[in-house]
């Protein structure tokens, strides 16, 4: 019997080493780092080329659900099921809830677990490796993909593999942590080691069976979380308290390093986990001086540089091996050899409570977005964009008043006990404590300027009374 193949897309990472583009509320899988599509969209589009692929199942952080759904809609994917993680619990429980959900109707599909933020350039080689992995998984093995090393990389874990016939999965002899340079060179010279890709293929029941053997409390918590799940618009919201009771552990430590059924399929497919700005440079197209640029960039006598601009002209003269990444609220300048240290920089931003560690100046919301274009003592100015047919929650504020000026489109306003329409160049005032809402009844995006004034202007000064998007 041919088992169905279900892709499980893990979409919950933070990607702090790609700051300032990647941030806690907008991680790297949602970024357009290499081409017109985001990394998530590229991952989803690759699935269309894989033989026998079923509808995707995504495990997504609850806070990112609307961004993920919108990016799937942009590329025409309407058959994905999205499981929402109420809290982060690492890869082992995330895959467990996907496996429990996939077997709930009595089927036992083969799951292909993929991170949402990897790059794979050779799709034919990827497809071929998947077919080998499927055959091994159908026999009860838990299969991972090993990347043929291109050099003595110290930023990846490694897999030591045993012998096997050509075109067959190899037994895993050992998983090893990220090595130092000398050890990595030994691994490379031996020819028996692969980079650990973090991608897996196995039958759903076999994963749950092995996980139950080594982490029974995790499986019990995940089964309860799925049993108590509720449908929420286009999402499946797994139970928060049950899922929070699960141990926090990665699949490598929870299962793969302990099972006797681990196998590895070697793969040379132009793979990269895009974990640092150095790896972005390696994967990007480059000019004749080996520079990779994106945005409005002008370079003079520069070599081996990565320059990414988003809001303004970026110029550089006489640089070597340098990374420059610019956003509307932050600028990173770094020696490419120090790319791993971006994580330390973000930790310092978090320690000093800088908002730039987690938020962009422009923040996505299910109804559209807002851009904080200016602020000072007791005031803040935002540019708000509301999608056609979308509506902000019915809400009130304890500490701030708001003045709205319509720039484009038509706004339907609720202001206390009044409902009225505003068009371009018209404005209204919302006093402190007054219940209000904003809706776009038109066919084009609504744009307006919001001027907030008051003693406290934090985003947590919002009391939602009604919300069509299920936010509290």
For residue 393, give the CATH number of its domain: 2.60.120.10
CATH number of the domain within which 241 lies = 3.90.550.10
CA distance 305 to 413: 49
Q: pLDDT exceeding 90 applies to what percent of the chain?
A: 75
Boundaries of domain holding 235 = 5-272
pLDDT at 244 over 60: yes
Same domain (yes/no): 249, 297? no
Residue 15: predicted pLDDT: 66
- pLDDT tops 80 at residue 1: no
Strand partners, 315: 298
- Output the pLDDT for position 98: 96
Q: At 458, is the pLDDT very low, low, confident or very high (cuts 50, 70, 90)?
A: confident
What number is the average pLDDT over the span 265-288?
92
Domain count across the chain: 3
Residues 198 and 328 in one domain: no
Residues 191 and 287 in one domain: no
Instruction: Please tell me the predicted confidence (pLDDT) of residue 14.
Output: 67
Same domain (yes/no): 9, 133: yes
Q: Across residues 305-316, what is the average pLDDT?
A: 96
Confidence (pTM): 0.86
Are both 33 and 173 inside the same structural domain? yes
Predicted confidence at residue 63, as pLDDT, reads 81
What's the pLDDT at 164? 85
Looking at per-residue pLDDT, the higher value among 359 and 289 belongs to: 289
């Amino acid at each position: 019997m041919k088992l169905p193949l279900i892709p499980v897309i893990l979409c919950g990472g933070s990607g702090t080493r790609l700051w300032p583009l990647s941030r806690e509320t907008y991680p790297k899988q949602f970024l357009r780092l290499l081409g017109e599509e985001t990394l998530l969209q590229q991952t989803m589009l690759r699935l269309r080329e894989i033989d026998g692929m079923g509808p995707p199942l995504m495990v997504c952080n609850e806070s990112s659900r609307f961004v993920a759904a919108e990016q799937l809609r942009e590329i025409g994917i309407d058959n994905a099921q999205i499981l929402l993680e109420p809290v982060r619990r690492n890869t082992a429980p995330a895959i467990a809830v996907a496996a429990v959900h996939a077997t709930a109707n009595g089927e036992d599909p083969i799951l292909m677990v993929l991170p949402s933020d990897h790059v794979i350039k050779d799709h034919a080689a990827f497809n071929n490796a998947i077919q080998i992995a499927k055959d091994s998984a159908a026999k009860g093995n838990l299969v991972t993909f090993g990347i043929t090393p291109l050099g003595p990389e110290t930023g990846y874990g490694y897999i030591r593999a045993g012998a096997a016939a050509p075109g067959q999965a190899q037994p895993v002899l050992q998983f090893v942590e990220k090595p130092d340079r000398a050890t990595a060179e030994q691994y490379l010279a031996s020819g028996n080691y692969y980079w650990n890709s973090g991608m897996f293929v196995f039958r759903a029941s076999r994963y749950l069976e092995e996980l139950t053997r080594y982490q029974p409390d995790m499986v019990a918590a995940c089964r309860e979380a799925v049993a108590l799940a509720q449908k929420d618009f286009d999402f499946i919201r797994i139970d928060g308290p049950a899922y929070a009771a699960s141990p926090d552990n990665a699949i490598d430590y929870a299962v793969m390093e302990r099972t006797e059924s681990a196998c590895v399929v070697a793969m040379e497919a132009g793979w990269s986990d895009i974990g640092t700005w150095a790896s972005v440079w390696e994967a990007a197209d480059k000019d004749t001086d080996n520079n990779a640029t994106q945005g409005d960039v002008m370079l003079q006598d520069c070599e081996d540089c990565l320059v990414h601009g988003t809001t303004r002209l970026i110029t550089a003269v006489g640089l070597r091996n340098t990374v420059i990444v610019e956003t509307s609220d932050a600028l990173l300048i770094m020696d490419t050899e120090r790319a791993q240290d971006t994580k330390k920089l973000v930790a310092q931003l978090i320690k000093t409570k800088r908002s730039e560690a987690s938020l962009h100046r422009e923040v996505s919301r299910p109804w559209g977005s807002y851009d904080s274009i200016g602020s000072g003592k007791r005031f803040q100015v935002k540019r708000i964009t509301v999608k056609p047919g979308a509506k902000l929650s019915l809400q009130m504020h304890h500490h701030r008043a708001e003045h709205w000026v319509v720039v484009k489109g038509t706004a339907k306003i609720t202001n206390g006990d009044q409902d009225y329409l505003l068009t371009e160049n018209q404005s209204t005032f919302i006093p402190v404590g007054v219940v209000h809402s904003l809706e776009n009844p038109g066919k084009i995006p609504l744009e307006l300027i919001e001027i907030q004034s008051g003693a406290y202007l934090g985003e947590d000064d919002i009391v939602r009374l009604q919300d069509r998007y299920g936010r509290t």
